[in-house]
Amino acid sequence: MSNVQKYGVFGDPIHHSLSPVMHNAAFSNLGIPAVYEAFLVKPGDLEHAVLKAKDDGFRGLNITIPHKESVLKFDFISPDPFSKMVGAANTLRFLPTGIEAFNTDAMGALLALESENCSTDGKNILVIGAGGASRSISFLFGQRQNPLKIINRTAEKAEKLAAEISGKTGNNVSAGGFSNLLDDVEWADIIIQTTELGMGKYESVSVFDQTESVDSDENLRNNLLKKYLTPNTVVFDIVYNPKETKFLKEARTAGAKTINGTMMLVYQGALAFELWTGQKPDVSVMKDAVLKALDAKQNEK
Ligand code: ATR
């Protein structure tokens, strides 16, 4: 039997995934004989694929879009308390006793903030978006009893998520649409952007384009944003490609401290790696591998 440990990521689509280069760099840096591969798994095939991975001796898997919620439906998977509360998992660990599920996305976001010297305790957190990515992050800050507001294009979706988090954490989470965006921005110490705005087909769109209260003229907009964003405001966009979204650029120009999604990707991976191997990977090795792969993608364009 080969002693090479097997790991991977299941998703659909999956060809863009940076997890293989990131994890393989970490394994090789620690001298762990392991291989991490990306697998295209269609929604109907998830159960079979997870069971096959177990039979094939896999030690761990990452689970990504669109499977993070559905993976918890299988009764042969035991979720840890946080992934159970959120209802979504991104990491599976295969043990002789069974398969465990974890959610390292939210803690990845927290560690990304902390790695930029941004402490979060007691800070007012504004989360933009109410989809899957927002869900994990919002639950974490809800559970940590931060003052928390979730805003979303579709306000009802934010309200529903806020009510669910309030019910499960005892925190009093507020919610709304984008109509009071500037007041919400002024209230926040930390703003976390979780929507697809700024990437792919929305590359030229910022959250500030979504409200009538912000001018479209660049100079007017910058002057306005300067009144609501301070040098102490931290603006974190979980998008990592492009490295600086339009939203992040506007926040930086207005004087806020900005952070992109690279380190969240790295830390969610590092936490999974530690769950699988019991060893702490070198996050700088993982970050370098991600940045190199992103640069290569950029050159392909
Ligand atoms: P993810 O898992 O990446 O969070 P998702 O669950 O599909 O993906 O959620 C997408 C998020 O991006 C939602 O908050 C969505 O807002 P709606 O609930 O109103 O759809 C947001 N989003 C997507 N396209 C958007 C757009 N053009 N303008 C504003 N918000 C958008």
Q: Is 244 in the pocket of ligand 1 (CB under 6 A)?
A: no
pLDDT range class, residue 1, cuts 50, 70, 90? low
Q: Is 153 in the pocket of ligand 1 (CB under 6 A)?
A: yes
Instruction: Output the CA 67–ligand 1 centroid distance in Å.
Output: 17
- For residues 46 and 126, state if they share a domain: no
- For residues 95 and 232, state if they share a domain: no
Has residue 175 been placed in a domain?
yes
Among residues 52, 54, 68, 257, the one annotated as catalytic is: 68
pLDDT range class, residue 211, cuts 50, 70, 90? confident
- For residues 126 and 240, state if they share a domain: yes
- For residues 52 and 175, state if they share a domain: no
For the question of residue 201 being annotated catalytic, the response is: no
- For residues 157 and 197, state if they share a domain: yes
pLDDT range class, residue 217, cuts 50, 70, 90? confident
Domain count across the chain: 2
Q: What is the domain extent for residue 75?
A: 5-103
- Could you tell me the CATH number of the domain that includes residue 56? 3.40.50.10860
- For residues 93 and 111, state if they share a domain: no
pLDDT over 70 percentage in the chain? 99
- For residues 121 and 228, state if they share a domain: yes
Has residue 130 been placed in a domain?
yes
Residue 70's nearest CA partner among 138, 7, 14, 11 is: 11
- Gap between the Cα atoms of 224 and 265, Å rounded: 32
What is the pTM assigned to this prediction? Answer: 0.95
Task: Return the pLDDT at 301.
Answer: 66
- Could you tell me the CATH number of the domain that includes residue 143? 3.40.50.720
Q: What are the pLDDT digits (tens) for 62-81?
A: 999 999 999 999 999 999 99
- For residues 248 and 114, state if they share a domain: yes
Instruction: Output the CA 130–ligand 1 centroid distance in Å.
Output: 7
Q: What are the pLDDT digits (tens) for 134-191?
A: 999 999 999 999 999 999 999 999 999 999 999 999 999 999 999 999 999 999 999 9
Q: Is 160 in the pocket of ligand 1 (CB under 6 A)?
A: no
Has residue 248 been placed in a domain?
yes
Residue with tokens 């902390």: 114
Question: Exposure pattern of 97-126 as b/e (b: 16+ CB <10 Å)?
Answer: eebbbbbbbbbbbbbbbeeeebebeebbbb
Residue 250 has pLDDT above 70, yes or no: yes
- For residues 99 and 113, state if they share a domain: no
Instruction: Output the CA 253–ligand 1 centroid distance in Å.
Output: 25
